[in-house]
Structure formats: C-alpha cells, structure tokens
Chain A
Amino acid sequence: MTPLRSAGAPPASLDALRADLDAGLAEDARAWFTRALREAAAHPGTHGPISVWELRLAEAGRRCGSRHADAVRVLLLHAARADAAALTRVYYQGTADERRAVLHALPHLVPGPDALPLVEDALRTNDTRLVAAAVGPYAARHLDAHAWRHAVLKCLFTGVPVDAVARLADRARGDGELARMLTDYAAERTAAGRAVPEDLRHVLALTGAAPAPSSAPSSAPSPAADHGGTDHPHGKES
C-alpha cells in the first residue's frame, strides 16, 4: 500500500492511490468504492441532513477497512470536486479520520489559501495524526513564516517525525529565526538533562546554522533524564 506521504517523499499522486486501492481492496469493498466514486462525481440527493457523497465519506472506514480509508476518502473528495467551503464543512463535521483525509486532500483541491484555517485548527490539536497530515504540501505553500516555524516545533514537541513536513529543506534554508528557536529548545532540553531529539539537529542543519550542543551538561544527573529518550512510548514526551 502506498502511504499518503511516505517519509521524505513527495505525496502520493491520486493515480497511485487509485492503483493501490484497485489492487488492495476486497471485491465487495471495491464495488462499494466504485459506486461511491460515481455518486461523488454525480452529487445525487441527500441522506437525511447530509448529501449522499458525504455519507459515503463517513462510512469509508467500515466499507473499505481502516487501512484503506484515508486513500478512499481523498479520492472521494476529489471525485466530488469539493471546494474550500465543502471541505471546511466536511472537516468540522468530521471524525478525526475524516479530518485527516480532508487535510491530505487540500493540495489536490484548493489552489489558494482559503482552507488555511483547517490547517491551523489541526496544528492546534495534540492528535499527532492530524498534526502530521497538517504539515503537508498545502501548509508548505501557504503557512506564513511564524506559523510554519511553530508547526515545525510542534512536530518536534509531539514526536511527529519532521519527514512529514513538506518542503522542509526549502523552507528551513537560511531561516535564522527558526534556527534561534531550535537552539533555544535544544538549550531547554539540555538544561533539563534531557536528550536533544535527532530531528532537531537535522532541521537545525537544514537552516545552515551551527549545530546544537551534543550532550547534556555533566552536572548531577537530573531525575528527568530517565525520560529524556524519545524511544519510551509512555515517557514524558515534551
């Protein structure tokens, strides 16, 4: 299965997603998906308070399986030619899974900055799946410098791999303010006796600034040091 965004790679094309679904969906799921795409393109009628294609979007997980649901939803949104207004409605009325699909669909469907409030909303959450989806190509294209720097820091704080950040190298290059924020964050971690995340060093290097200090101070070990690693799934993560 093609991930919607594999680490460090450009986002999968819609054609690639479609080919994967055609190969990976079980027969009944594929039949459902084919019909749902047709309905999305035709925009027929309503189902209670929502349109039929929005119902298909909502039920994609149970029809196609959770591992295919993101791709199915992105393609349904594309087939429905959802504009910024429709995407906004679907996002705010959606589950976390639907919201993630909307974020993945933005670069394919919205040419201008109209959908930026959705990205900003997702970046305010602590749901790392939403944060990772929010820092895709649409954010790279439209987030202003201040918001983009905070998005990068948010990834570092919440453990979202910075590989999820689209056009990271382009936007980080020569960004002295980002370098300062990263250096300050590294100093804060170091003062607490905690390890500096590898991703922080990576982004700092991309800015072209001098590297962060490489180790915690040699003074007495901090009680927090046990939790300073980033491989402890239930450890403090900040």
Chain B
Amino acid sequence: MRIFDPHIHMTSRTTDDYEAMHAAGVRAVVEPAFWLGQPRTSPASFLDYFDALLGWEPFRAAQYGIAHHCTLALNPKEANDPRCTPVLDELPRYLVKDRVVAVGEIGYDAMTPAEDKAFAVQLQLAAEHGLPALVHTPHRDKLTGLRRTLDVVRESALPLDRVLVDHLNETTVKEAKDSGCWLGFSVYPDTKMDERRMVAILRAYGPERVLVNSAADWGRSDPLKTRKVADLMLTEGFTEDDVDQVLWRNPVAFYGLSGRLDLEVTAPDATHEGNSVLRGGE
C-alpha cells in the first residue's frame, strides 16, 4: 500500500515517526507552513522556517525514503499580527522554488479584516505563480467560515478546482463538494475527524477529490492516521483501488497541479554509510 500524507507538520515530529510512517507505507508528504504554537514576532523567523521546509526537512525525509514537498504562506492566525504581515512581501521569491507545491495554509481563523486581506493577497499570489492553494477552514464557527472561504475564492483569480479546502467534517462536506473544490479531511485522535466518521463520509460522498491527512503536528496527533483510515476502508468493503485513489492518486493529482511534484526519492549519496540526522556525533 502506498500512502501520500497531503498535510503533516514533520518539523514537529521525530525520526521515529518517519521510520514508522515508512513502515506503514507512507512514501510522500506535503508539509504546509503553519503556526508553531509559540507566536512569531518577526518575518525573519518565517524565513528561517521556510528555509527549513526547503532544506533540512526534505533531507530528513529522504533519509527515510519519503518524498517531501511543502506549501508556503502566512498562516491565518498570524495574519492578525502586524509584526508578521511583512512576510507577505517575501513570499514571491519563495513561491518560485522547486518543491513548493501550493500556497498554504491560508484561510480563516477568527474571520477578521486582517485575515480577509492576507487570504485574498495569497490567493492572488497562487494564481500568479501557477500554484494551487491549501485552505484551512476555521475550528470555530466552521460552517460560516466555510461559506465565507468559498465566497472569497470565487472572487479571486484562482479557480475552485485549484483549491483544497481542508479540515472538513460532516457539517461542511456537502457545501464544499458542491462548490467544486478538492476536499481535505484531517483525522485526529480526538477532534476533527476519526477513522470511522471518515469512512462514513467516503461512503456517503464517494472518493472523488477526497484527500485524507493526519495533520500531525506538535499537538496530540497521530502520523499513522492515514494508514488507519486505509485499513478501515478495506475492512468496510472499499477496494484497494479506492484506497489508492484517496491515499495516493488524489493528492498526486491535486499537488501535481503545481507541475513541481517530484516523487522520486534519492537518499543522500553521501550518507550511504551513515545518517547525519542521527546527530553526526556532535
């Protein structure tokens, strides 16, 4: 079984996770830029983060046979902090890089005017750079947030079929599907979605344009949730082809819209005898 986790924050995870993910069948991940838990106070700390997503993290992933790509953006929460918003001016030089496969996570947190502005600016940047967009939907007041999200996308230069709307659930899936966007579901230990609810949604709405992710990060989360959904799909009567569509082909199709997906993993030549992730003895 081959698995593509289309939303996982590997910077927050250990090498044990990479090892377990590879053993479970994960061969590709996309890591969206997001909030670090601790608020940033300057654009410079975003730039170091973006550099890590384009440097150290793909190197770590390659050590474990996993292809790593990223999406870059100013996240909705920090779009409200004027100390952070100047990073929007730096984004264009990052959005041309290889392995940047979307603009994201963008969208709404508290649905403020500052979020409106950052969202619209970054949808425009996505359109200008030939990139799709990964759009986070808010945890609070979710259905209203989804409707406002879809309205903003409709007013933008980016067509809905180049937008992945993430963190959907039973209350938002129908309107999202009717809009023509790609449908993202984050499967968590307690919150968002669980495996059983995910399989019920797949049964009700079908596997077309559906992407399932673990969204694993620094909080309580599980980087193997993608595999657990796949296993439950098979137990519940879905075919192996259905599983492959949801957990591999759909993410490849969506992020492939960037023209930058490179799924060939070359383990770093220089480490054929060792592994510098494991500290390099220093």
Contacts and interface: CB of A to CB of B under 8 A. Distances in A.
Contact of A161 (B19, B97, B99, B270): B270
Contacts of A128: 59, 268, 270-271, 276
Given A49-B93, A95-B99, A231-B273, A157 B282 contact: yes
Contacts of A60: 98
A139 to B, nearest CB: 15
Nearest to A227: B278
A48 B274 CA distance: 41
Nearest to B260: A62
Contacts of A27: none
B275 interface: yes
B200 to A, nearest CB: 38
Interface string A217-238: 0000000000000110111111
Contacts, number: 121
B280 A161 contact: no
Interface residues of B, number: 37
B92 interface: yes
B279 A237 contact: yes
Contacts of A96: 54-56, 58-59
B56 A238 contact: no
Nearest to B96: A58
- Residue from B51, B259, B264 having most chain A Cβ neighbours under 10 A: B51
Given A93-B93, A129-B59, A159-B276, A237 B98 contact: no
Given A62-B262, A131-B270, A237 B276 contact: yes
Nearest to A61: B98
Interface residues of A, number: 42
A96 B97 CA distance: 11
A95 B98 contact: yes
A4 to B, nearest CB: 11
A236 to B, nearest CB: 5
B269 A159 contact: no
Interface string B157-200: 00000000000000000000000000000000000000000000
B48 to A, nearest CB: 11
Contact of B97 (A49, A58, A234): A58
Interface of A: 47-50, 55, 58-62, 65-67, 69, 93, 95-97, 99, 125-129, 131-132, 154, 157-161, 164, 197, 230-231, 233-238
Interface of B: 19, 51, 54-56, 58-59, 63, 89-90, 92-93, 96-99, 259-260, 262, 264, 266-282
Given A157-B280, A235-B275, 16 more contacts: A48-B93, A48-B96, A58-B98, A60-B98, A69-B98, A93-B93, A95-B99, A96-B59, A128-B276, A129-B59, A158-B281, A159-B271, A159-B274, A161-B270, A231-B273, A233-B274
